[in-house]
Amino acid sequence: MLKFLKAQSLKAYNTFGFNIKADLFIKINTTEEFQELLKCKEWRDNKHLILGGGSNVLIVEDFHGLVILNCITGIEILEEEDQSVVVKCGGGENWHEFVLYTLKKNWGGLENLSLIPGTVGAAPMQNIGAYGVEIKDAFHSLEAVNLQTAEIEVFTAADCDFGYRESVFKHKYRGQYFISSVSFKLDRYGFHRLQMSYGIIQDVLKEKGIKSPSIQDVSESVIEIRQSKLPDPAKIGNSGSFFKNPVINSQQFNKLIEKFPELPSYGLDNGQIKLAAGWLIEKAGWKGYSENGVGVHQKQALVLVNYGNGTGKDIMNLAKKIQDSVQNKFGVELSPEVNFV
């Protein structure tokens, strides 16, 4: 039997830690429960918000509707071959815990994505990525419930149309599906090629005296890097990287590099140039700034934080000021990575 809660605080379900409330709230533990929910008046009569780990969402005010928390768990092997394995994971599983599980099994492919907050089901929505690896690199397929038909549909990588922090679930199919499980094709021990193109990973491994790193070594290095740069949401409310790294064309880049020769940049295969949003924000003078109980983190300008008494509107207003400032100084538009509700 489905259990609905009224006037439920969402403080524990958003990593900014805002003490906002939902008129109705429910935890979904199985795909069948969600399909049952779609038949209920509580679903039909209310607008809805589906949450995973609440790590990539900015809820600006109390939600007057139904909030659904994805709590579907479980891990199973779908296919096994000599060099690889396909593993299926429930959408409500904690992402980092799942990565650690794959490392214990000596399956390579997700080690660079260690310590990213959130759930497995939310990961493909924005094609999470870090240190040269994105979800799409190891993605096999996902199962999602169509909110209109209640049918389970399978999406391949091509169906998801992954891009930089993008997928069809953020645009074309936004608000139309509930991701119940995600499957990954991972490499067995001895058949995996490590991705260490980011020099900072190589630096950490060198400091540790590791010349022939394992997937576990890379994961531990990534964890160390992230912990040194990013605040723990359990201590300071935040959603990790708030803005995407902007991508510009070569003509715009050439003009910028003349004026700012120290500008960090990464060339992409399509000839465009990716810039470091954190550097732009820092050079615009925002690093360490605070107002109204919120601010820009002192160690990483890409992270907006709630010091404990801020609101979602305060974060939204601060983000707008930063966007305007970067646009005025560099002529570059910053786009939020988090989803506004």
Taking only the tens place, the pLDDT of each residue in 140-152 is: 999 999 999 999 9
β-strand pairing of 303-306 with 21-28: unpaired
Cα dihedral 90/92/97/100 (nearest 10): 30
For the chain, the structural domain boundaries read 5-70, 75-209+216-226, 237-340
**Mean pLDDT score across all residues of the chain:** 93
Mean of the pLDDT values across residues 65-85?
96
- pLDDT attached to residue 308: 84
The structure tokens listed for 140 are 């096999």
Give 237-340's CATH code, choosing from 3.90.78.10, 3.40.50.10540, 3.40.640.10, 3.30.230.70.
3.90.78.10
SS3 137: helix
* Cβ atoms 18, 10 nearer than 8 A: yes
CATH number corresponding to 5-70: 3.30.43.10
How many CB atoms are closer than 10 A to CB 234? 9
Residue 140, CA atoms < 13 Å, CB-side half-sphere: 19
Q: Lowest-confidence range among 27-31, 181-185, 196-200?
A: 196-200
CA distance linking residue 35 with residue 8, whole number of Å: 22
Residue 52 three-state SS: coil
Whether 2 has a pLDDT exceeding 80, the answer reads yes
Q: Given this model, what pLDDT does residue 78 score?
A: 97
Residue 200's pLDDT band (cuts 50, 70, 90):
confident
Residues annotated catalytic, as ranges: 165, 241, 337
Banded pLDDT at 106 (limits 50, 70, 90): very high
Determine the pLDDT at residue 71.
97
- List, for residues 10-39, the tens digit of each pLDDT value: 999 999 999 999 999 999 999 999 999 999
> Quick one: what percent of the chain has pLDDT higher than 70?
100
Cα-flanking dihedrals φ and ψ of residue 205, to 5°? -60, -40
**What is the spatial distance between Cα 138 and Cα 192, in angstroms, rounded to a whole number?**
11
Q: Which H helix or E strand runs over 317?
A: helix 312-330
| Greater model confidence, 286 or 52 | 286
pLDDT at 196: 84
**Residue 100 pLDDT grade (very low, low, confident, very high; cuts 50, 70, 90):** very high
DSSP of 222-271, one letter per residue?
HHHHHHHHS--TTTSEEEEE-BPPPEE-HHHHHHHHHH-TT--EEE-TTS
Closest CA relative to residue 187, chosen from 103, 119, 129: 103
Architecture of the domain spanning 75-209+216-226? 2-Layer Sandwich (3.30)
pLDDT band at 229, cuts 50/70/90? confident
Q: In the predicted model, is pLDDT for residue 70 greater than 80?
A: yes
Confidence grade of residue 328 (pLDDT, cut at 50, 70, 90): very high
What pLDDT, on the 0 to 100 scale, is given for residue 92? 96
- Range 307-320 average pLDDT: 93
User: Taking the CB of residue 312, how many other CB atoms lie within 10 A of it?
Assistant: 21
Average pLDDT (252-268) is 89
Q: Tokens for 237?
A: 């409310």
Integer Cα distance of 45 and 41 in angstroms: 6
Amino acid letter for position 194: L
Q: What is the pTM of this model?
A: 0.87
What's the CA gap between 285 and 280, in Å, rounded? Answer: 9
